[in-house]
Copies of this chain bind each other. A is one copy, B any other.
Amino acid sequence: MPEVMRPRARDRGIPFDGTPGPWNAITDVPGVEVGQVTVRPATSIPADRRHWVRTGVTTIFPQGPRDLGPVFAGLATLNGNGELTGAAWVEESGELLGPIASTATDGVGLVRDGLVRWMREHGLPPGAWALPVVGETWDGYLHDVRGRHLNEEHVREALDSARPGPVAEGSVGGGTAAICYGFKGGMGSASRVLEVPGPYQVGVLVQANHGRREQLRIAGQPVGRALGPSPRPEAGSILVFVATDAPMLPHQLRRLARRAGLGLARSGSISGNASGDFFLAFSTARRERGGSPLERLEALPNDALDPLFEAVVQATDEAIVNCLVAAEPMVGFEDHRVEALPLEQLGFLGSDAAH
């Protein structure tokens, strides 16, 4: 475990199936890099309102910042109460071009346009257009959404700061003000390593802002019932980004993305009406573009996909719990306060939880 990372869910004795990669994060898929910026309040903001600024941006580069792709990709929407720009072209083309970003609802447009400009400066041909993928979750309980605190510099910083390796979890980046199952939520990640078929990596990054407290299930236990009810109605949404280096075709990646909903269900969600539950899966497997117009590809047959499906279910579930374990209590907009998951009340502390 890297020094920068605090004990995570499985370090705290919560049992999960499957074998994670070295970082237990989406960055276990070779080439994937993640950047995150948490906005600091401008000095012009009165001191007693600086804690109202709770927003940020997270970025994912499928193949590192120097290769904009495209990579094959597929999408699934479980409940569409949200925005995912670029979705139509991913569905149509089966491809994802450039980095992905996630932020808070009101900033989607700014981040989307910022990605376009960044791509123009980093290799998008003149005369070409870009349709970048930007997702969001609503942060209006803890963040001052009317304050216009996010600007294009933050977007650039989130893009330029992308790195391989450990991924910060909890109240950072696009998930800074997120609330998950009535507790402080945010970013979470997890991964699985497969041997058959394989060896392949499957990594998941969630921006978790969904659910009501009484729904929460951890490792199958309906722990939320004892902790609930939520102090306020759901103003939900969860984004799940799935990366793999397994060679899969676009229609298969759509199937893979759909399994994120099953992992979400394990953690207790009913995908409420107010929730924007969007799942995007991409494959970093290389495709050859030779001299001919034809591309040469490899792909797993459909009947080899079950281990990948299972990996997504497991890693999505774990990433959500990782987010809850990482997030600390937060006081924000209008002094609204959201508690952290009281992990010590849940009775999971096992023998390997002595960190």
- By a beta-carbon cutoff of 8 Å, the part of chain A in contact with chain B is 17, 77-89, 91-95, 105-114, 116, 120, 127-129, 131, 138, 140-141, 146, 197, 217, 220-222, 225, 234-235, 247, 249-252, 255, 258-259, 261-266, 269-274, 276, 278, 289, 293-306, 309-310, 313
Contact = CB atoms under 8 A, between A and B. Distances in A.
Contacts of A249: 94, 249-251
Contacts of A305: 273
A220 B267 CA distance: 10
Given A87-B88, A94-B249, A106-B129, 15 more contacts: A17-B222, A80-B92, A81-B93, A87-B87, A108-B112, A109-B114, A120-B146, A220-B220, A262-B262, A262-B270, A265-B265, A265-B313, A270-B306, A272-B309, A294-B298
B131 A83 contact: yes
Given A93-B302, A265-B261, A109 B105 contact: no
Contacts of A83: 85-86, 88-89, 131
A294 B247 contact: yes
Contacts of A309: 270-273
Contact of A140 (B87, B127, B303): B127
Contact of A84 (B88, B220, B296): B88
8 contacts: A77-B91, A83-B85, A88-B276, A89-B276, A94-B302, A108-B113, A129-B138, A251-B251
A80 B95 CA distance: 12
A53 B290 CA distance: 39
Contacts of A128: 140
A295 B305 CA distance: 13
Contact of A310 (B81, B112, B270): B270
A95 B80 CA distance: 12
A80, A116, A261, most chain B CB atoms within 10 A? A80
Contact of A92 (B79, B138, B300): B79
3 interchain residue pairs of minimum CB distance: A109-B109, A220-B220, A80-B88
